[in-house]
Amino acid sequence: MVSLPHRMRKLQTRLLAIRLGSGAYILPKDINRIHMRFAPRIEGGHMGPRKFWHHELVRLKYHNPAISMTTDRTARAEDPAVLSVHFTSPTPTQSPDETTSGPAFADSTPAAAQPTERVSTIDMKHRTNAEILDELVRMTKAQAVEATEAEREELRSLEEQRVKGAKDSAKSLEVRARVAREKQLLEQARGELAADAV
Amino acid sequence: MAVPRYCPSCLSLAFATSTIFRAAPRRPALLPLPPPQNQQPIQLRPASTNALKYRRKDPAAAQRRKKARSTYLAPDLKNVVQFSLVDAMRYLRASEVGRPPTSSKYELDVRLRTAKNGAVVRNRLRLPHPVKTDLRICVIAPSDSPQGLAATAAGAAIVGEEEVFQAIRDETMKFDRCLCHTDSLPALTKANLGRMLGPKGLMPSVKTNTVVKDVAAAVREMAGASEYRERMGVVRMAIGQLGFTAEEVRRNIRAFVENVKRDMQGISDQTAKEMHEVVLSSTNGPGLSLNGTFGSADADLGDWSAAKA
């Protein structure tokens, strides 16, 4: 990042994109875990799950950081793509898992702090991420997150600055190109002068 | 949008009202030239040698000779949006959702206020919670002996004697390093595993310091110390895995920052260095400037930070 205002503008755009947008929902307290299983490549109808992971799941995670959200991308193209939501009864006090200092193994099965009572699944294959989100919201009765006035104002001003910046950038490119061309002509003239004088 | 004004001196349109775009510094007046569509080369009166001798030097060169900065830029932090550790981790965990918890790492960038040509900060540090722990270490010692238990506590992947020998022969065991307790060495040589472990470089031997008395310390040592160095005025180091809790990350950050401070004091007689900004980021996440506090500004989410992503 070159300058502080530029850096802050890019950062705020990114953070607002994480907070707001498609997938910004607060899930009810009785959800324990969300797990997605789909293929690493999109052939076979796995594009919807992948987009969901990159866009909607990010916002869901931001607004529900206590819910463990994992993915398993080891399915084959012909296997089903499944999103499973693990429900449990909400308890007033949750004892968090204490840490271990030993080596951590990468796996897709987290240690659940509470026993899972029921599991609901959504079939994601050949569906767009918007459809998957709709079904998830219907199933869990999630609450949408609305942008506050301050956030709307910020979004507006960032968009304005972006458009203005693009226009100014195009114009300044034009100006710079013209100055460079004139400089080139001057150099050429000076070069001829030196050649003539010799 | 203001009406653009035509500035005759620099033959360009001047924009006075744009806040983001600052016009380039006005160059000294260029000679009036014919429009660029003119295909013929420019014909000027041949000047005398005297004129050539006293001709004005290229104006751009005069501008180029301004002094380069001797310190790295340290912009004013009052315009920077800063976050507490928990708030920053919330954004980073969201950006990294669904990734394996040991593959994505948190990274800390400590920006220093320092001269460009001075001594640099360079050192090794063993973090309270090491980042790169995927080193699988196998320890040959009886699993119920005090040494064996200490080894498991220190983080060895596999500890044992006979069962380990059998697993190695069956090729069911996979590990990166192998240590052996001095008392178990005869059993190891008798098991004749040299043919399996030797070519892989995993056979414990006295020469490679892999036959040890204090196994726990050796396991800890092997897990390695992370190295850091200052590049272009910034010290960067991996400070945690995605699966770490906020407390662990906080301890690591504290250890790292204190170490850097100590290093800076150590070389303060050669170059003065000061910490300017601390930025936390992750493999797929944005870089968030930390304000030094831990707890979240938004209290109604409860204590999620102790959960392991």
Contact residues on chain A for B76, CB-CB shorter than 8 A: 4
- Does the beta carbon of B136 lie under 8 angstroms from any beta carbon of chain A? yes
Q: Pick the more confident residue, B49 or B183.
A: B183
| pLDDT at A136 exceeding the cut of 90 | yes
| pLDDT at A90 exceeding the cut of 70 | no
| Dihedral over Cα of B97, B99, B105, B110: its sign | negative
Q: Report CB contact under 8 Å: B52, A110.
A: no
CA distance A107 to chain B (A): 7
- Does the beta carbon of A40 lie under 8 angstroms from any beta carbon of chain B? no
- Does the beta carbon of A191 lie under 8 angstroms from any beta carbon of chain B? no
B141-180 residues touching A, CB cutoff 8 A: 155, 157
What is the pLDDT confidence band of residue B271, given thresholds at 50, 70 and 90? confident
The top-scoring range by mean pLDDT among A83-97, A121-135, B21-35 is A121-135
Distance CA A77, CA B122 (A): 48
Q: Report CB contact under 8 Å: B307, A189.
A: no
Give the CA radius of gyration of chain B. Answer: 31
| Dihedral over Cα of B208, B212, B217, B220: its sign | positive
| pLDDT at B5 exceeding the cut of 70 | no
Three-state secondary structure call for residue B163: helix
- Total residues belonging to chain A: 198
Helices A4-19 & B85-95 angle (0-180, nearest 10):
70
Across the interface, of B103, B287, B306, the residue whose CB is closest to A96 is B306
Chain A, chain B: beta-carbon pairs less than 8 Å apart? 154
- Does the beta carbon of A183 lie under 8 angstroms from any beta carbon of chain B? yes
Distance CA B66, CA A2 (A): 20
| pLDDT at A95 exceeding the cut of 50 | no
Distance CA A88, CA B162 (A): 44
Distances (CA, A) of A123 to A112, A143, B282: 23, 22, 31
The top-scoring range by mean pLDDT among A179-188, B15-24, B128-137, B216-225 is A179-188
B188-217 residues touching A, CB cutoff 8 A: none
Phi/psi of residue B59, nearest 5 degrees:
-60, -30
| pLDDT at B112 exceeding the cut of 90 | yes
Q: Report CB contact under 8 Å: A103, B136.
A: yes
What's the token pair of residue A76? 């084959």
| pLDDT at B46 exceeding the cut of 70 | no
Summarised one tens digit per residue, pLDDT across range B213-246 is: 888 887 877 766 687 889 899 999 999 999 999 9
Q: Stretch B129-152: mean pLDDT, rounded?
A: 81
| pLDDT at A152 exceeding the cut of 70 | yes
- Does the beta carbon of A188 lie under 8 angstroms from any beta carbon of chain B? yes
Q: E strand or H helix at B226, and its extent?
A: strand B226-231
ipTM for the whole complex: 0.81
Distances (CA, A) of B204 to A76, B133, B185, B228, B266: 41, 21, 9, 30, 39
Distance CA B197, CA B204 (A): 9
CA distance A103 to chain B (A): 5
What is the per-residue burial (b if ≥16 Cβ within 10 Å, else e) of B94-127? Answer: bbbbbbbbbebbbbbbbbbebeeeebbbeeebeb
* Amino acid code (one letter) for B120: V
Q: What is the pLDDT of residue A183?
A: 95
